[in-house]
Amino acid sequence: MTTETLSPRALNRATLARQLLLERSGLPAVSAIERLAGLQAQAPDASYVGLWSRLRNFQADDLAKPLAAREVVRSTLMRGTVHLVTAEDGLALWPTIRPVVERGFLGHYSREIAGLDLGEIAEAGRALLAEGPRTRAEIRSALAERWPGVDPTTLAYAVGGLLPLAHATPRGLWRQTGPAAFSLLEDWVGGRITDGISLDDLVRRYLAAFGPATVRDAQVWSGLTKLKEVFERLRPRLRIFTDSAGKELFDLPDAPRPDPETPAPPRFLPEYDNVLLSHADRVRVIPDGRRVPLPPGNGGRRGTLLVDGEFLAIWAIKGATLTIESRKPLRDQDSIAEEGLRLLEFAVPGQDHDVRFGIGG
């Protein structure tokens, strides 16, 4: 039997559909976050722009309220990076993703932690956070008293690398600043960590949000290794394709795979958006191989622009002006400007807005 080959454009449209970027969805924010298998969220305000681009009539309170109510939570999970997930997913994902988070810490601080009892450090951190949220500086100061000869920054990062933590509000609420504070995940969301989502279910969640995809794509998204055996176990229940380079792609049988010629409207993505970072081969959204900018800051004022589904420009808001920079003039600037004005009304409402195009980036 001949295996169907999917072009980069076909993969683009399939991924955009699942990421709610072909057509805005009417889902509530919490349901969308679950559907998307979480949103990368190092920059706290980035998720607001990510959801605004995906959901009809989205307002900042649509995310800020469930964050404050702890229905959703920011926690270090896939790839060892901060993600915005539902409280239920946070509790279920931690045991499965834990090796990724621990490996990231151990790899970075291997020299500094040599000879230390990590279990003892973790328990000291747990006892401290059981009293309430603490900033990294507060964790560093408290643990330095107990381990005076050890680099206190290492001790603080050990707590984050060994324990399931939540980023406490008010940081993470729209336009709220201040240092990150950490709480024990279970205490913050008021639930117990489960046995963990199975690897089979994790792969299915990934394919539902990002497929069709290769084994390596799923490993890049999650940070886990050795997922080939999981895909082989699931093979009888999956659709199999190949990409234009001949690599094997897996997908859920009934997942959307729109016609490659389906129109893709311009979409303003925030920094760190999942759709740009969740595949080993990013040609489906980044045809020219450019690097995804990862600017520092609280987020929500800079990002990337998809034009016809492809990352072709970067954008930034300063004051009430949106500047869009591309390597060459963009097609259909009128529709891009209209979408840009809507973004400005969301991000900086009630001002005289301006959209400007430039060549650069």
**Boundaries of every domain in the chain:** 24-189, 267-359
CA distance 47 to 299: 8
Reading the block at residue 17, the tokens are 């559909």
Report the candidate in 286, 266, 264 with the shortest Cα–Cα distance to residue 361: 286
Report the candidate in 234, 216, 346, 327 with the shortest Cα–Cα distance to residue 281: 216
Give the pLDDT confidence score for residue 125 in this predicted structure.
Answer: 97
Give the pLDDT confidence score for residue 360 in this predicted structure.
Answer: 84
CA distance 161 to 75: 11
Give the pLDDT confidence score for residue 303 in this predicted structure.
Answer: 96
How far, CA to CA in Å, does 161 sit from each of 2, 70, 145, 151, 215? 46, 22, 20, 15, 26
- CA R_g for the chain: 21
CA distance 193 to 181: 20
CA distance 307 to 94: 35
Dihedral in degrees, nearest 10, Cα atoms 360, 310, 16, 71: -20
Residue 207, classed as helix, strand or coil, is helix
Tens-binned pLDDT, residue by residue, of the chain (361 aa) = 678 999 999 999 999 999 999 999 999 999 999 999 999 999 999 999 999 999 999 999 999 999 999 999 999 999 999 999 999 999 999 999 999 999 999 999 988 888 899 999 999 999 999 999 999 999 999 999 999 989 999 999 999 999 999 999 999 999 988 889 999 999 999 999 988 899 999 999 999 999 999 999 999 999 999 999 999 999 999 999 999 999 999 999 999 999 999 999 999 999 989 999 999 999 999 998 889 988 888 889 999 999 999 999 999 999 999 999 999 999 999 999 999 999 999 999 999 999 999 998 6
Q: pTM score, two decimals?
A: 0.95
Contact between residue 347 and residue 337 where contact means Cβ atoms under 8 Å apart: no
Give the pLDDT confidence score for residue 194 in this predicted structure.
Answer: 86
CA distance 143 to 77: 24
CA distance 350 to 138: 39
Report the candidate in 176, 238, 246 with the shortest Cα–Cα distance to residue 203: 238
How far, CA to CA in Å, does 338 sit from each of 271, 273, 314? 21, 21, 16
Total residue length of the chain: 361
User: Which residues on adjacent β-strands are paired with residue 306?
Assistant: 267, 311
